[in-house]
Chains A and B, each alone.
Chain A
Amino acid sequence: MKEFLKRVLALTNKEFKQLWRDKANIMLGIGLPIILIFVFGYGISFDIRNAKLGVIDLTHSELSVKLHHSINASHYLDAIAYPSIEAAKKDFLLERIEGVVVIPNNFDAALWHNKASIEVFVDGKDPNRAQALQGYVASVISQTYSKESIKKYGRVPGSIDIAYRMWFNQAVSSTWYIVPGLIVLIITLVGTFLTALVMAREWERGTLEAIFVSPVKPLEIILGKIIPYFVVGLLGLSICMLAAKFLFEIPIKGSIILIYAFSMLYLVIALAIGLLISAAVRNQYVASQLSVATSFLPCVMLSGFIFDLRNVPVIVSFIGHLLPSTYFMDLLKTLYLAGNYWPIIIKDGLILGVYALLLIYLTVLKTKKSLD
């Protein structure tokens, strides 16, 4: 046992040194998460500036004019007045405006009956932008409304129902859960891609061949690879979570301990896939291609990161549900955004556990001290 630990330590130590010296690996493990989170994070939050909205005021009351002006006054929005929905829709089709706000003709009267509604149409082709727009419109309307009615009546007469409509893609309801998605992506990248690459490099350079003829055991070689990249993966994960918290102020609804625990579980799965790929092909180029094609790309495309799996064809959804990353994505989204919702945690956690055991078993089976 003591010998075992000594050898694992020697291999781990070696791997860390190599990792530190190869700046490309550091970039991939730590630099890339930072870049990704900035690209995705800032790309979404701050892209909307002076978005042009058509405003159709059918009431022309004091309040509706105030609402119209407040939309125009916002940094994020520009209001352009239209006489009718048809006129607005024409410009909308020509992409001169990004959305339309309709204040109906009985607006003030309906307020006192708590039946007031404002319709907001947004461009469903880009659901993420559409969602952001909705948010801005809603906050401008509700703030102006409460301020004005308190000034005038001393109280808020009734709530306004803001009805959102998507033009072009009415069914879309996906939310871009950036941070959970990024975490899955980064763990997959570090676990599978990086590990497959460094292991294949050892096959290629003949270093494994030399080490095989020594007292070292297959399990020790595996551990010597897993431990360092496990640490790098956790580092990437932590960077993501810190950025989410402090840069984007995204709250974590569920337990941080659970998030870490399941991330570790998924990291083991990703590492095992990486080791399996490199053991099968033993060539850096093919290993990198294979790991991108079998784990990184599906993780982006099929696990619900970009496309909601509820809205894809059955066959795509089926393939997506074969991937461990899908369950981890689901689990993380739940933990991050919904909280500790146990039925999903238990279901996805169990599935991930089975994947982990199966893949570790296969990896140990595949990594023999043999060139056959």
Chain B
Amino acid sequence: MQSAPIVRIEHLSRSFIGPDGKSFFALNDVSLTAPKNEITMLVGPDGAGKTTLLRICAGLLGFTSPKEAANKVLDLDLNTPGNLAQVQQQISYMPQRFGLYEDLSVMENMELYARLYGLNKEEFSNRAKELLHMTNLTNFTTYLAGTLSGGMKQKLGLACTLLSHPKLLILDEPCVGVDPLSRVELWEIIRRNVKQDKLSVLISTSYLDETQYANKVYVLNEGMVIFADSSKALEDMASNKTYAISTGLPVLPRVLGAMLLEKDNLVVDAVPNKGSLAVTLGKDVQIDKLNLGQDYKVSPRVQRSEDGFMCVFNKLSQNKANSDSGISNKSIMSIFSSEELLNLSQGKLTNDAFCEDIKRESIIEVKDLVKNFGNFTAVNHTSFNVGKGEIFGLLGPNGAGKTTTFRMLCGLIPASSGILNVAGFNLRKARVEARKKIGYVAQKFSLYTDLSVGENLDFFAGVYGLRADIKTKRINEVIEQYELMPYYNTKTLLLPGGFKQRLSMAVGTIHKPEILFLDEPTSGIDPIARRIFWHQITGLAKEGTTVIITTHFLEEAEYCNRIMIQDKGEMIALGTPDEVRKQGMTAGNTSEYLSMEEVFISIVKKFRDKEQ
């Protein structure tokens, strides 16, 4: 007989009061079963209800459900008072934001949890030793948690939750803000505990490739479950629809992708991947309907969970005429003229910005750049150039120095030594002049949430010192460009998520900067929003804006003209995604065409081995 599932949720609902004062369903008639000793995964866009569901399972939030419904964790009914304490005794939960005491050391954090769970000294020292080893934190036990890198913090958090040998582990997006290397390690720890310790896991994630580890995947959207099956079944949602298009021309894959996304409902997804364009066709669309010129080479490719995910959302938006979920013409702004669209699909090149290998004049020159914080060298003798109109990606694990480099480039912190020219100005001497040429979009949109869209634009245009006539003109331009007109008088707080992103882009570009700096703009946002975002960036680059971007999603490096990888303050790779890929391939001794993530891991590992 099959044993009872560790979590059983039936027809569960939960509503909250939204910022507009109206009540809305965060979860609407959700049912879920998480079997014992398995990994059950929740995916879906922001605001889909993942966190709410996890919190309910952890006994932290109330809910409503029909009388006859059973909502049980560890076979204990969540509605029965007194059961919650019993549940919480046997499970562990890691909220999205660490939940660590930053002013306590690694060991002190672990001790606290051990004592709260009532472990005795011997149990604790054995288990702590095991977990410290597993998390590679053995040498860091005296470090304060606040001084650890993002990846190490998450590993410590995981170690704390695993101390008590919980029966169920609930993890809320544990990999947000974690570099790929640490992410691999985190998953190793989780999977090892599932195997050895009979652990059951309920986890949410925004990395769709992680569905490969899950036994069952639930896709949530707007508080409802829209898909529930194995990760294989999720992949198969896209079976026979996935193709790789290598341009064969100097056309950048991102430009081809942007073009295809603008065509009416032909493709569900189009992202640069492994040097070509990965396309997922829409429902009932055949590949020849794309009408591509002969130079483009089309070949079938294996479907990934991300493709399946996009198909699930596409199906949803077709069923609901008015839904704005998934990528649709409504969410994609048009950045090409119809003539450009036609030319591009035929492979005729009309704009240099669409091409890979054109000669570009440098807009940013960095030579021997150094930044010291006391005795610590955050950036060590780094030199590179960025060409006008390029999308330039800064990549690296947590603590690699990419944020420091980024901040020096946009003049937020001074360099210790070296040459730093931005838009023709020496940034070390003429910071103010250089700043007028650059735009900056911070990780958390720096918008005034109680001002309307129009007021925000007006304010920031004023801050950048635009003259009255130019100001009105530019405001009108960005409103048109980012299609913000319907929300002109809407308070920013009440904007749908995607439009907040658009507004912050509009604000960052209102003074027509020559260079736009984006600091992890896609961190923690879902795949659909990321597609829309990159579409905007492609549009900006087409207009000649240079874009400098940091990201945690390595596959996004494929959107860039060139990328730089840093580790421990050193630049360890620089070039086009393909050039960097070659560097990673020789390092890994493999003939396979690697994904950017694999390339990254191989390059960083090689560098670290050499260091030792």
Q: Residues of A with Cβ closer than 8 Å to B?
A: 3, 6-7, 9-11, 14, 17-18, 21-22, 205-207, 209-217, 369-372
Contacts and interface: CB of A to CB of B under 8 A. Distances in A.
Interface in B76-94: 84-85, 88-89, 91-94
A214 B157 CA distance: 14
B73 to A, nearest CB: 11
A14 B95 contact: no
A277 B99 CA distance: 21
Interface string B153-179: 000010011001000001000000000
A22 B61 CA distance: 32
B108 A14 contact: yes
A216 B108 contact: no
Interface in B41-90: 55, 58-62, 84-85, 88-89
B85 A14 contact: no
A371 B88 contact: no
A165 to B, nearest CB: 57
B122 to A, nearest CB: 15
Given A14-B108, A21-B103, A369-B84, A213 B117 contact: no
B201 to A, nearest CB: 14
Contact of A206 (B85, B95, B113, B118): B95
A14 B92 contact: no
Residue among B59, B98, B116 with the highest chain A CB neighbour number at 10 A: B116
A298 to B, nearest CB: 29
B273 to A, nearest CB: 35
A217 B161 CA distance: 17
Interface of B: 55, 58-62, 84-85, 88-89, 91-104, 108, 111-113, 115-118, 157, 160-161, 164, 170
Contacts of B157: 210
A178 B14 CA distance: 54
B59 A9 contact: no
Contact of A7 (B93, B95, B104, B116): B116
B115 A10 contact: yes
Contact of B62 (A17, A206, A213, A370): A370
B112 A10 contact: yes
B170 A213 contact: yes
Given A14-B112, A212-B58, 8 more contacts: A9-B115, A205-B102, A206-B97, A209-B93, A209-B99, A213-B59, A215-B117, A371-B61
A372 B84 CA distance: 14
Given A213-B88, A213-B91, A371-B55, A10 B116 contact: yes
A210 B97 CA distance: 9
B100 A207 contact: yes
Given A14-B108, A213-B60, A22 B102 contact: no
14 contacts: A6-B115, A11-B116, A14-B101, A17-B104, A17-B108, A18-B104, A206-B97, A210-B161, A214-B88, A214-B116, A215-B88, A369-B60, A370-B60, A370-B62
A210 B62 contact: no
A7 B59 contact: no
A370 B62 CA distance: 8
Contact of A371 (B60, B94, B102): B60
A56 B563 CA distance: 91
Contacts of A214: 88-89, 92, 113, 116-117, 164
B94 A215 contact: no
Q: Tell me whether chain A's interface is mostly helix, strand or loop, or mixed.
A: helix
Contacts of A210: 93-95, 98-100, 157, 160-161
Contact of A215 (B89, B99, B170): B89
A24 B59 CA distance: 35
Contact of B85 (A21, A207, A217, A371): A217
Nearest to A212: B60
- Nearest 6 interchain pairs by C-beta: A210-B99, A10-B115, A213-B93, A206-B97, A215-B89, A209-B95
Contacts of B170: 213
A206 B579 CA distance: 42
Nearest to A217: B85
A371 B172 CA distance: 15
Contacts of B160: 210
B115 A215 contact: no
A9 B160 CA distance: 18
Nearest to B120: A6
A22 B102 CA distance: 11
Nearest to A21: B103
B103 A372 contact: no
Nearest to B105: A17
A215 B116 contact: yes
Contacts of B98: 205-206, 210
A209 B108 CA distance: 18
Nearest to A211: B116
B103 A18 contact: yes
Contacts of B85: 215, 217
B115 A7 contact: yes
Contacts of B62: 370, 372
A183 B243 CA distance: 76
Contacts of B58: 212-213
A207 B59 CA distance: 16
Contacts of B60: 209, 212-213, 369-371
Contacts of A17: 103-104, 108
A14 B105 CA distance: 11
Contacts of B111: 10
Residue among B98, B99, B157 with the highest chain A CB neighbour number at 10 A: B99
A370 B93 contact: no
Contacts of B116: 7, 10-11, 211, 214-216
B103 A207 contact: no
Contacts of B100: 207, 210
Contacts of B89: 214-215
B103 A22 contact: yes
A206 B96 CA distance: 8
A170 B94 CA distance: 66
Contacts of A205: 97-99, 102
A366 B108 CA distance: 29
Nearest to A2: B118
Given A206-B96, A211-B116, A214-B117, A369 B102 contact: no
A53 B115 CA distance: 69
A272 to B, nearest CB: 23
A211 B92 CA distance: 9
Contacts of A207: 99-101
Contacts of A14: 101, 104, 108, 112
Nearest to A202: B101
Nearest to A209: B95
A14 B111 CA distance: 9
B99 A206 contact: yes
Given A206-B96, A210-B95, A370-B62, A7 B118 contact: yes
Contacts of A10: 111-112, 115-116
Contacts of A212: 58, 60, 88, 93
A21 B97 CA distance: 22
Contacts of A22: 103
B118 A215 contact: yes
A210 B145 CA distance: 15
Contacts of B118: 3, 6-7, 215
Contacts of B94: 210
A210 to B, nearest CB: 3
A9 B118 CA distance: 11
Nearest to B57: A213
A21 B95 CA distance: 25
Contacts of B104: 14, 17-18
Nearest to A204: B97
